[in-house]
Structure 1
Amino acid sequence: MNLLIVDDEYYTVESISNKIRTLRPDFFEIFCAYNLTQALEIFSTHPIDLMICDIEMPGGSGLELLDQIRQAHYETVCIFLTAYAKFEYISRAMKLSSSDYLLKPLDDHALLEALDKACAQCEKQQKDRVNTLHANYWKESELPLAEQFFLDLLNGSISSAPSEVMDEIRYRRLNVELIHQPFCPLLIQTGQKSVFAASDNRTLYEFALKNIAREYFFEPGELPLTIRVLDGFYLLLLPVSTHTRDSVVGRCRQALTDFVTHFPFSINFFVFQKICLPESLLDAFLALKQFAAKNVTYENHVFDLAQETRTAVPASSQPIPSDRWSDLLLAGKTEQLQIEVFAFLNQLKSSGTATREFLTGFYYQFLQLLFRQMDHPGSEDEAFRRQITVASPEQTFSSFGALREWISNSLLLFTQSRQAAASQDTAVATVKAYIESHLSDELDRDTLAAMVYLNADYLSHLFKKDTGSSLINYIIDRRIAHSKELLAKGEMSIRDIAITCGFQNISYFSRQFKKSTGMTPRQFKN
């Protein structure tokens, strides 16, 4: 235990120091200071458990020194010294939580008594700090164990029978008072960040949300039970000893302003209509989850299940105008189509008749509408199909906002796919026309591909897709077809025809001609 003596009189400091070394030799170290500034310097470099300080000193009183120490959150126990028994000194010293107040000159018995009292207070403070650290440690250790217990209870791994719940609590060495703890269940549901966006940062955002929810909804000292029950769902178990249903609903509404808008996804709150013991939490959670699953209209909203009386009328009987929308797609009027689709969905949203099942069914109908407009199967169409079906309808299309985003992105991808297909058709047509007018020239894949700024392999792939044969075979086929026309006219020799059609070797020309027609050029000519 460290002691600091502060007095502007040198001999007083020495006298007190010598007395204490005699009366209480158990102090680890005794520091001496002669004014406020020196004392603060010692505090900044050494832990001080006990301070004996004169009140009246030039350059700053002992009361000012203790005030600064308390503002710096030091818990140092203080004994004040003074030559005057002034009431205002005693009053202020008491407010600053000093241990004792002694008059000069010091009496050995009074000093020893004050030291004993102050040392006992120091030891109690140290013990309290240790106990607090232990309590925090066990609370931090208990939290994941308790959350796992409730997660097992909610997923059915533990029976909800009270006797079995108690047995499990004891087996896991949790606080047995949990069995009698009534909770106000609060379900937090996060929406989708983006239908097409990568989910790399979602885990980070949900981790932040869990920590914020713990700090925001629970009181200091409470076990902040925040259980991730499903992907995007967190169940908070708020003890009714400090939380009423009305206060939880109000806190949720305040959260919409305080932090919900800072997240890149929507957040809904669902407050259960009853107070629950652990044995009834599973039923409460299932009811909350079912209610959340039915909601497709509201985002960043607080649902108090005690007040909710909405019953949605199924909208699945309302057909989509598929013929009209197909005509717009076929005409390439995707912007007009998007306007009409959004108007259709907005009307449904305003009526409050849509359900999650309807949105999922709508998704599949619109998907088929897009697929039917594909000109022909091919790699570009397959890529388009993969891009627009990347998300899971059951999880992603749980709101009108998410569905509108998917429609907007799908129509954009559809337009890009058709433009790419048109560009490819143009490239193939350009190369075909060049081949037709340059049959006598040397034609190779690299030269032809460079003409249309494509990779040679990719150009060959496009020809295969368009004609059923590779680029090289297409060139040979066109040369043979032209040679047949010239042979039929009979105006040129076979050798000249071969050269005109791009065959520099007469033997090679004959082999390719026979392979294509089943006869030699001479036989064909005759």
Structure 2
Amino acid sequence: MVQILLVDDESYVTESLAATIPWETLGIEKVHQAASALAAIDVLEAYDIDILVTDIRMPGMTGLELIVEVNERWPHIRSLLLTGYADFEYAKKALQLKAFDYILKPVDDEEFFKCVSAAMDSLKEEWEAFDKVHQLQYSRRNDYGVLRTHLMHDLLLGRDLTVQKIKDKMSEYEIKLRTEHPASMLLIQLGKQFSDMDYHSVSLIEYAIGNIAEEVFAPDFHVWHCKAPHDCLIVLIEGNWHLFPERTVDEQNHFLRAAIETFRKNVSNYLKGEIYVTLTNWFHFPDELPKLYQTAIRSLYWNQQEETNPLLFIEEQTEQSHNSVKSLEGLYTHPTLTHLLESRQWEEAEAKVSRVFGKMEEAGYTREHLYELFISVTSAFMYTAHKQGRFITQMDQVGFDPLHAQKLVHSFPHLKEWIFSMMNKLKAEWSASEQSAKSYVVKQVQELIAQDKGQELSVKTIADQVYLHPVYLSKIYKAETGEGLGDYIIRMRMERALYLLKYSNKKIYEITTELGYQNPQYFSKMFKKHYGMTPHEFRDQ
């Protein structure tokens, strides 16, 4: 909602403008008036004003001084100056203060309309720019992590990339590892202490484990970590030979294994849980990565199942079950199942899973392969559901109960039936959750206002706490609730005022200060506007 504030000590000027200008045609939904600069500041603090029209010569604070205050506290506001003096010095000062325009009295309605319309166009351009900047900033924060993960998955799953292409992408994503240098790989599986955590908590744990790895292995090693395709964490490690050129391979192994022990202990101490680590020998990066990854995955799976060895060293690579492992490669080729579900390509997603089941029937499968398929597909299901603000257990409790899940991974037909059933449920639930992200922001805002009871709050301070631009937040809130955020803050303040007047012995000026108002008269005016009586009248009744 666009709001305008008209300020002039000659009230007939603002009243005439408020009554004669076709504000709705301009796209302005609310017109405020003030008879002084100080009263204008109270209005500015109470409402989300977008355009200010002020006289220059007023008792006390002048219009020019008001614009100085507005520029410091509300720089997004477009300021228009009214004056009866065609004085170049005024025009010069207005330009210095970056006033949007300068209008001479007596005001011509047509000229005034043009000036305000131009200010509206300027605001719309700024809002569009804010939207673009916000989207870019949000994307950039997430892009590097996502891009690094995608590149890692491409390498792990053997996607055909040239060495130069890999080098270029690693440089672009600021990955410190170098191609054609010896590297080692750690696969990390969370222990049972983390098994009861929800998706968000596990994500935080995984994020913390990655940070611990970076801290522990530096500066001896360069580290690249992310979530692997097979529901575990992967850490690629490369010796920092530039800093330690004199080290032999044996010495490097000694430092690496000591660092891994420290890494495991730190995870246990800080995160209160165990991890299972599978460590490969040094290999040629990136050529040998896909093959070694498959070997490490098999070793990690059985090591974690048996819970006998929290740190497993792979000294030899084997081709055991190599052909049957390949039967699941179609699940990870592009486009991935996660991408198909996220983009609502339901038929393609079903066809992809059908092809995987067909390959498994042709090549043969073991319980490990069923378990791998279950984990991979359920990860895609969970990601899709959580992104829409839904817990997957709300759609299906059976498949995500550990006891029932064990039955699924023992039976090829049961697993197949359950996966296609879940796809149908996801498809049915998708449309209902499309607005959940914006609803979550609104819920955050309302909780912040409730916690602080409206004190010292403004659209800007709330926007800072939810990491959004004030203009963008106001648009979201208005679209979701139908009420302006500034109006909501005022309403909550008035409800708080009603409570304090009724159930406390605080004086009215104390309540005024507690609610963040500087002027008791303005507070009384706002209270009367909401409840039809002044605070004194309410307390005396």
TM-score, normalization: structure 1?
A: 0.36
Q: Which one has the largest radius of gyration? A: 1
TM-score, normalization: structure 2?
A: 0.35
Q: Which has the higher contact order (CA 8 A, sep 6+)?
A: 2
